[in-house]
Amino acid sequence: MIGRWAVCGLVVAGMLGAGGACAEEGNIFSNLLKYGGTTVPPSQPKETEAAYCPTVDVAEGRAAIQAQGGAGGVRSQTTFGQIARECSRLQDGSVSVKVGVEARVLLGPGGSPGRFEVPLSIAIKNGDKVVTSRAKRFTVVIESGQAQGFATMVEDGLIVPPALAADYEIEVGLGGGGAKAGKPKPRRKPPVATTAPEGGEPGAAQ
Protein backbone atom coordinates (compact mmCIF):
# COMPACT_ATOMS: atom_id res chain seq x y z
CA MET A 1 0.00 0.00 0.00
CA ILE A 2 1.44 3.32 -1.00
CA GLY A 3 1.71 5.72 1.93
CA ARG A 4 0.40 9.27 2.03
CA TRP A 5 3.85 10.80 1.66
CA ALA A 6 4.61 8.65 -1.42
CA VAL A 7 1.36 9.74 -3.12
CA CYS A 8 2.09 13.33 -2.28
CA GLY A 9 5.59 13.04 -3.72
CA LEU A 10 4.32 11.57 -6.98
CA VAL A 11 1.66 14.27 -7.42
CA VAL A 12 3.96 17.18 -6.70
CA ALA A 13 6.78 15.71 -8.78
CA GLY A 14 4.41 15.40 -11.71
CA MET A 15 3.30 19.02 -11.36
CA LEU A 16 6.62 20.67 -10.54
CA GLY A 17 9.03 18.27 -12.32
CA ALA A 18 11.29 15.55 -11.00
CA GLY A 19 12.73 16.18 -7.58
CA GLY A 20 9.78 18.28 -6.40
CA ALA A 21 9.60 18.45 -2.61
CA CYS A 22 6.55 17.35 -0.66
CA ALA A 23 5.20 19.27 2.30
CA GLU A 24 2.31 18.86 4.68
CA GLU A 25 -1.00 18.25 2.97
CA GLY A 26 -2.92 21.52 2.64
CA ASN A 27 0.14 23.68 2.02
CA ILE A 28 2.03 23.53 -1.32
CA PHE A 29 -0.47 21.20 -2.99
CA SER A 30 -3.57 23.17 -1.98
CA ASN A 31 -1.84 26.45 -2.86
CA LEU A 32 -1.12 25.14 -6.37
CA LEU A 33 -4.78 24.34 -6.86
CA LYS A 34 -6.15 27.50 -5.28
CA TYR A 35 -3.62 30.20 -6.22
CA GLY A 36 -1.67 28.69 -9.14
CA GLY A 37 1.57 28.84 -7.17
CA THR A 38 3.25 27.29 -4.17
CA THR A 39 2.71 30.26 -1.85
CA VAL A 40 -0.30 32.23 -0.73
CA PRO A 41 -0.35 35.66 -2.45
CA PRO A 42 -0.51 38.71 -0.16
CA SER A 43 -4.01 39.80 0.67
CA GLN A 44 -5.32 42.68 -1.42
CA PRO A 45 -6.72 45.75 0.34
CA LYS A 46 -10.48 45.97 0.23
CA GLU A 47 -11.63 48.39 -2.46
CA THR A 48 -13.02 51.57 -0.95
CA GLU A 49 -16.65 52.24 -1.78
CA ALA A 50 -17.21 55.19 -4.09
CA ALA A 51 -18.24 58.37 -2.28
CA TYR A 52 -21.54 60.17 -2.68
CA CYS A 53 -20.68 63.43 -4.47
CA PRO A 54 -23.52 65.94 -4.96
CA THR A 55 -23.37 68.70 -7.54
CA VAL A 56 -22.41 72.17 -6.36
CA ASP A 57 -25.06 74.76 -5.49
CA VAL A 58 -24.52 78.52 -5.74
CA ALA A 59 -25.77 80.33 -2.65
CA GLU A 60 -28.87 82.43 -3.22
CA GLY A 61 -27.99 86.02 -4.15
CA ARG A 62 -24.28 85.27 -4.35
CA ALA A 63 -23.77 84.29 -7.99
CA ALA A 64 -22.22 87.67 -8.91
CA ILE A 65 -20.71 90.78 -7.30
CA GLN A 66 -20.24 94.30 -8.67
CA ALA A 67 -17.67 96.95 -7.80
CA GLN A 68 -18.71 100.55 -8.27
CA GLY A 69 -16.43 103.15 -9.86
CA GLY A 70 -15.75 106.63 -8.48
CA ALA A 71 -18.23 108.30 -10.81
CA GLY A 72 -21.03 105.94 -9.87
CA GLY A 73 -20.51 103.61 -12.83
CA VAL A 74 -19.81 99.91 -12.52
CA ARG A 75 -16.07 99.28 -12.28
CA SER A 76 -16.29 95.50 -12.65
CA GLN A 77 -18.59 92.52 -12.33
CA THR A 78 -17.45 89.11 -11.12
CA THR A 79 -19.35 85.92 -11.92
CA PHE A 80 -18.73 82.18 -11.75
CA GLY A 81 -17.30 80.24 -14.67
CA GLN A 82 -16.85 76.50 -14.25
CA ILE A 83 -17.58 74.96 -10.86
CA ALA A 84 -16.25 71.51 -10.05
CA ARG A 85 -16.07 68.96 -7.29
CA GLU A 86 -14.38 65.69 -6.46
CA CYS A 87 -15.19 63.46 -3.49
CA SER A 88 -13.08 60.68 -1.97
CA ARG A 89 -14.17 58.25 0.74
CA LEU A 90 -11.63 57.87 3.56
CA GLN A 91 -10.88 54.73 5.55
CA ASP A 92 -12.92 55.90 8.56
CA GLY A 93 -16.04 56.38 6.40
CA SER A 94 -15.79 60.16 6.14
CA VAL A 95 -15.59 61.94 2.79
CA SER A 96 -12.94 64.42 1.67
CA VAL A 97 -14.31 67.01 -0.77
CA LYS A 98 -12.28 69.06 -3.25
CA VAL A 99 -13.93 72.06 -4.91
CA GLY A 100 -12.63 73.93 -7.94
CA VAL A 101 -14.02 77.33 -8.91
CA GLU A 102 -13.40 79.56 -11.92
CA ALA A 103 -14.15 83.27 -11.59
CA ARG A 104 -14.69 85.67 -14.48
CA VAL A 105 -14.22 89.42 -14.03
CA LEU A 106 -15.69 91.74 -16.67
CA LEU A 107 -14.82 95.43 -16.83
CA GLY A 108 -17.64 97.94 -16.57
CA PRO A 109 -17.84 101.51 -17.92
CA GLY A 110 -15.98 102.85 -14.88
CA GLY A 111 -13.28 100.19 -14.81
CA SER A 112 -9.79 99.71 -16.18
CA PRO A 113 -7.41 96.74 -16.49
CA GLY A 114 -5.59 95.60 -13.36
CA ARG A 115 -5.82 93.13 -10.48
CA PHE A 116 -9.17 92.25 -8.96
CA GLU A 117 -9.61 90.39 -5.69
CA VAL A 118 -12.37 87.78 -5.58
CA PRO A 119 -13.84 86.81 -2.19
CA LEU A 120 -15.27 83.29 -2.15
CA SER A 121 -16.94 81.04 0.40
CA ILE A 122 -17.27 77.27 0.22
CA ALA A 123 -19.49 75.30 2.56
CA ILE A 124 -20.52 71.74 3.28
CA LYS A 125 -24.10 71.71 4.56
CA ASN A 126 -26.64 69.24 5.89
CA GLY A 127 -30.04 70.82 5.43
CA ASP A 128 -29.93 74.12 7.31
CA LYS A 129 -26.77 73.20 9.23
CA VAL A 130 -23.29 74.28 8.11
CA VAL A 131 -20.96 71.33 8.69
CA THR A 132 -17.75 73.07 7.64
CA SER A 133 -16.88 76.16 5.61
CA ARG A 134 -13.92 78.07 4.17
CA ALA A 135 -13.58 81.74 3.24
CA LYS A 136 -10.98 82.38 0.54
CA ARG A 137 -9.69 85.19 -1.67
CA PHE A 138 -7.92 84.91 -4.98
CA THR A 139 -6.90 87.33 -7.71
CA VAL A 140 -8.07 87.78 -11.28
CA VAL A 141 -5.83 89.84 -13.57
CA ILE A 142 -7.19 91.76 -16.55
CA GLU A 143 -4.32 92.57 -18.89
CA SER A 144 -3.94 95.89 -20.66
CA GLY A 145 -6.15 96.05 -23.73
CA GLN A 146 -8.45 93.30 -22.43
CA ALA A 147 -12.00 93.65 -21.11
CA GLN A 148 -12.14 90.50 -18.98
CA GLY A 149 -10.02 88.02 -17.07
CA PHE A 150 -10.28 84.55 -15.57
CA ALA A 151 -8.73 82.72 -12.64
CA THR A 152 -9.29 79.44 -10.84
CA MET A 153 -8.99 78.33 -7.25
CA VAL A 154 -9.04 74.80 -5.82
CA GLU A 155 -9.81 74.08 -2.18
CA ASP A 156 -9.16 70.60 -0.82
CA GLY A 157 -9.71 68.74 2.45
CA LEU A 158 -13.31 69.71 3.24
CA ILE A 159 -14.26 66.79 5.48
CA VAL A 160 -17.76 65.34 5.75
CA PRO A 161 -18.17 63.15 8.88
CA PRO A 162 -19.19 59.50 8.39
CA ALA A 163 -22.71 60.08 9.74
CA LEU A 164 -23.40 62.59 6.93
CA ALA A 165 -21.42 60.91 4.14
CA ALA A 166 -24.59 60.19 2.14
CA ASP A 167 -26.59 63.28 3.07
CA TYR A 168 -24.82 66.60 2.46
CA GLU A 169 -24.67 69.52 0.04
CA ILE A 170 -21.81 71.58 -1.38
CA GLU A 171 -22.38 75.32 -1.69
CA VAL A 172 -20.28 78.19 -3.02
CA GLY A 173 -20.86 81.92 -3.07
CA LEU A 174 -19.12 85.12 -4.19
CA GLY A 175 -18.64 87.96 -1.76
CA GLY A 176 -17.85 88.12 1.95
CA GLY A 177 -19.91 87.06 4.91
CA GLY A 178 -19.21 83.32 4.84
CA ALA A 179 -21.77 80.55 4.59
CA LYS A 180 -25.18 80.94 6.20
CA ALA A 181 -27.82 78.46 7.15
CA GLY A 182 -30.74 78.31 4.76
CA LYS A 183 -33.80 76.31 3.91
CA PRO A 184 -33.19 72.58 3.42
CA LYS A 185 -32.99 71.65 -0.25
CA PRO A 186 -34.25 68.44 -1.89
CA ARG A 187 -31.62 65.72 -1.71
CA ARG A 188 -29.97 65.02 -5.04
CA LYS A 189 -27.94 61.91 -5.62
CA PRO A 190 -26.40 62.12 -9.11
CA PRO A 191 -23.85 59.60 -10.39
CA VAL A 192 -20.65 59.68 -8.36
CA ALA A 193 -18.27 59.80 -11.31
CA THR A 194 -16.78 63.17 -12.16
CA THR A 195 -14.75 64.34 -15.09
CA ALA A 196 -11.54 66.32 -15.02
CA PRO A 197 -11.17 69.45 -17.17
CA GLU A 198 -7.90 70.45 -18.74
CA GLY A 199 -5.16 71.30 -16.29
CA GLY A 200 -5.97 68.46 -13.88
CA GLU A 201 -8.63 70.25 -11.91
CA PRO A 202 -11.73 68.41 -10.72
CA GLY A 203 -14.43 67.82 -13.34
CA ALA A 204 -17.20 70.31 -14.01
CA ALA A 205 -20.05 69.69 -11.63
CA GLN A 206 -22.74 71.61 -13.40
Domain residue ranges of the chain, discontinuous segments joined by +: 4-35, 56-174
Q: Which of 137, 140, 130, 203 is nearest to 174 (CA)?
A: 137
Pick the CATH number of 56-174 from 1.10.3470, 3.60.21, 2.30.30, 2.60.40: 2.60.40
Q: What is the pLDDT of residue 187?
A: 47
Query: Cα separation of 204 and 65, whole Å?
Result: 22
- Written as tens digits, the pLDDT of the chain (206 aa) is 444 434 444 444 444 444 444 444 445 545 555 555 556 666 655 556 789 999 999 999 999 999 987 776 889 999 999 999 999 999 999 999 999 999 999 999 888 999 999 999 999 999 999 999 999 999 999 999 999 999 999 999 999 999 999 999 999 999 875 544 444 444 454 443 333 333 333 333 33
Contact 64, 52 (CB under 8 A): no
